[in-house]
Amino acid sequence: MPSASTRRGEVVENLVRDACMAPSMHNAQPWHFSYSRADESIVLHAVPERAEPHADPELRGMHLGCGAALFNLRVAAQSAGFRPVVTLLPDPEDRQTLASVSLGESAETVDSDLALLHRAIPERRTSRYPFAERPIPAALANRLIEQARAEGARLAFLSGWHLSLVLDVIEEAELSAGHAGDPDERLWVRTGVKISDAIADGVPEYGFGSREGDGRATVSDLAHGRHGADAGPQPGGASGREAEGETVADATASAGAGARADMSPDAGTRPGATAGPEANAGPGVGAGPRTGSGAEAGMRAGTVPGTAPGTATGTGTGTGELGHMPHLGLLCTEHDHPYDWLIAGQAMERMLLTATKEGLATSFVTQALERSELRWLLRDPVWGAGPVQMVVRLGYGPLSPATQRLPMRDVLDFVP
């Protein structure tokens, strides 16, 4: 009969396995976990060797990916019956220690919605395929806005002039990247890799997706023009995420195809904790070294520009649905520090899991975020939101094949 220590070790492995299903830049998986048997806590560490100095010199993207992994850990822990207490940046002297998750303590309050997202963890992927011309219901858009707000961030869907501006900025960033080249992409994009190949990180060629031939794409072309048979499998027909009878077509400005490699397609297997100080994040959070000022501190509710705060409405369709394509959302935080990046990563993953649960496919648009002079142009001057942490693309369409994850021996240590 397995000992109590062995059983707890298996539980911890399952929790970390779920955490590692999170997206990260180019699927680099820049995280490591250590479990202390003495105080029954899991500590999340950043792995600088898996950072991307060209695209992410400030390590903002690395913190977002680790924040997403932390959120998955929270979801998995709550689903397993724990009431974890989470502290962000527990050691001000150690910038690589990002969070501590106590399984031995019991949080005073619990976000009951988290456990409901557990089944979405292995289903969530990053889709680099075109999405169907199908609106997202306003009720669902508002729910996604609320999910981001629950983690202390703001999500706003784009429309009108702001959507056009963002598309212009994205196009400029993509053209610039195409001319200059991307050394991080050359390191992490695995060309010539088949689904059967045992690749534990990076973006394999079968995850490149496809690109429409016309219009302005909102996403990077990882295959660099090599689509079709030589760029990996294409999903056949309408998928479970695509309405029957609808076609996958160019969006208003052409939603383009697959997502930027920065947040790569994600594998799922097996079967989480709240971020930041209690006042600045969701329930179940231990007070960390920094104090917060409320989940919405200094920020307006997520909106579609031109509507009342906290409301997602149609854009001239008269149907109460988001009618413009592509569906792009800006995820913003109040400030722009490592603490805020971890908050944004958790808000992003909460929104993505909710979208997955509701049948949406998702991807990321990060070209402009990699250039500081363009990143600030993405902000909405009307609502005065804080710095943009991620541009998310949502819609109904096929999913990319699952990519692999690093083995447990490479991402989890047990300490006395």
Question: Which candidate, 6, 86, 88, 79, places its Cα nearest to that of 41?
Answer: 86
Which range of 114-128, 171-185, 238-252, 364-378 scores highest in mean pLDDT? It is 114-128
Residue 233 has pLDDT above 60, yes or no: no
Token couple for 90: 């527990």
Burial 219-235 (b: 16+ CB within 10 A, else e): bbbbbeeebeeebbeeb
Q: Which two tokens stand for residue 96?
A: 């690589």
The pLDDT value recorded for residue 384 is: 65
pTM, whole model, 2 decimals?
0.75
pLDDT band at 377 (very low <50, low <70, confident <90, very high): confident
For the segment 116-140, the average pLDDT, to the nearest whole number, is 93
Q: Are 132 and 396 in contact (CB under 8 A)?
A: yes
pLDDT-based confidence at 209, cuts 50/70/90? Answer: low
Whether residue 3 is predicted with pLDDT greater than 80 in this model: the reply is no
Q: What is the pLDDT of residue 97?
A: 98
Q: Which of 115-124, 200-209, 328-337, 368-377 comes out lowest in average pLDDT?
A: 200-209
> Does the CA dihedral 253-256-260-264 come out positive or negative?
positive
In this structure, are residues 87 and 105 in contact, taking their beta carbons and an 8 Å threshold?
Answer: no
pLDDT of residue 253: 33
Beta-bridged to residue 31, according to DSSP, are: 46
Q: Residue 234 to residues 191, 372, 400: CA-CA distances in angstroms?
A: 16, 34, 8
C-alpha dihedral sign at 316, 319, 321, 327: negative
Least confident interval from 6-10, 202-206, 389-393 = 202-206
Residue 40 pLDDT more than 80?
Answer: yes
Is a pLDDT exceeding 50 seen at residue 251?
no
Instruction: Single out the residue of 295, 146, 127, 286 nearest to residue 219, CA to CA.
Output: 127
Q: Which of 85-99, 135-149, 254-268 has the lowest mean pLDDT?
A: 254-268
